[in-house]
Amino acid sequence: MLVGAVIATVPFVLIPWATNLPVLLACVVGFAAIANAFKGVTETLVSDYVRPGNRSKAQGFIKAGVSLTIVVSSLISLLVVDRSLHLAFAIPPLLMLIMLGLSWVFLGRRHCDAVLPEEQTEEEREFVSPWAVLKDALQSPSSPTLLLMIGIFCFAGMWSALRSLTTPYGTQVLGLTRGEAGGLALPGAIAFLLCVLPIAYLSHRLGQLRTMRYGVALFIAGLLVGFAWPSVPGTIASMIVSSLGYASFAVNALVALWNLAPTQKVLGTYTALYTIASASGMALGPAILGTTIDLTSWRYMLLNAAVFAAVTFAVFTRLARSAPDRTTDRAHG
């Protein structure tokens, strides 16, 4: 993680220096490839330190930290982008390196003492290869694991598209500068930060699938508010409501997938499934939504996103009906 994060800063810093599309793509793809290479390892660490019954709450604290990155990026957009794009891209890697150093100092020495002891069951002693687990999880088109991966792909894709295209939406529809448009995400990030922990504790009682389904519905409602009220206040309200809906998903998606794992030994494999689904959605989501914008106009961006999110709602509805209790029961275990 430490080595990968340091290497990932290089292509990220070079993005504003790209003078043509091939170089820009090389920087973006290089950063994404390096960052995603160790993302699964990072996310699986939660299961090494936190017992199953507390993982939703632990994810709440983690996502609260993630929301701080959105707050910081929005502040950078508001205060720095219109003045110096190169400086704006240099600040996040610098902050990340500082935090990595602090993490190593304060957490690295306690690693061995904090890891949960292994409690092997008979099923885990007979553990086969991760490839066999992967084949078993995906062999049926209606399997809960495959359905959940589809839902993760769709929701992560639309959230990524919304985050990526909000700035050009603000310049094209609302008449803002790039920096001002980039700051539209700040109120939503603050709302996310304030509500993610209560949502995590609520999810512990309601269950992951039910909470995610409610979150998708709230996400759609937020998009429709922004479409019906195409102004700065309306877009800010849309970002706030949509962020709360996404928080319900962000806290629970990985935990719900972990709860489908047959044994604790294969949690890394299930984290890889989550990474594949979410990373694919984040990569393709902006392109898919951007294509619909080309076919309609920027004015219809939020409505187009709401239509795609409705597909996600249908997936989670079917998933909740096909496996209503499995993830919830394990969440309380």
List the one residue out of 20, 62, 4 whose CA is nearest residue 252.
Answer: 62
Return the minimum-mean-pLDDT range out of 14-28, 65-79, 215-229, 238-252: 65-79
**How many angstroms separate the CA atoms of 223 and 303, rounded?**
7
User: For residue 134, with 0-12 CB atoms within 10 Å meaning exposed, 13-18 middle and 19 or more buried, which class applies?
Assistant: middle
**How many angstroms separate the CA atoms of 42 and 46, rounded?**
8
pLDDT at 106 over 80: no
Position 59 scores a pLDDT of: 78
pLDDT band at 333 (very low <50, low <70, confident <90, very high): very low
Cβ atoms of 155 and 306 within 8 Å: the answer is no
Q: pTM for this one?
A: 0.76
pLDDT at 136 over 60: yes
pLDDT at 331 over 50: no
Position 118 scores a pLDDT of: 57
pLDDT band at 298 (very low <50, low <70, confident <90, very high): very high
Cα separation values, 114 from 12, 107, 111, 119, Å: 33, 9, 5, 15
List the one residue out of 302, 298, 288, 308 whose CA is nearest residue 216.
Answer: 308
List the one residue out of 218, 222, 192 whose CA is nearest residue 316.
Answer: 218
pLDDT at 82 over 60: yes
pLDDT at 121 over 70: no
**How many angstroms separate the CA atoms of 85 and 328, rounded?**
46
Mean pLDDT, rounded, of the chain: 81
What does the pLDDT look like over 267-296, one tens digit per residue?
A: 888 888 888 888 889 889 999 999 999 999
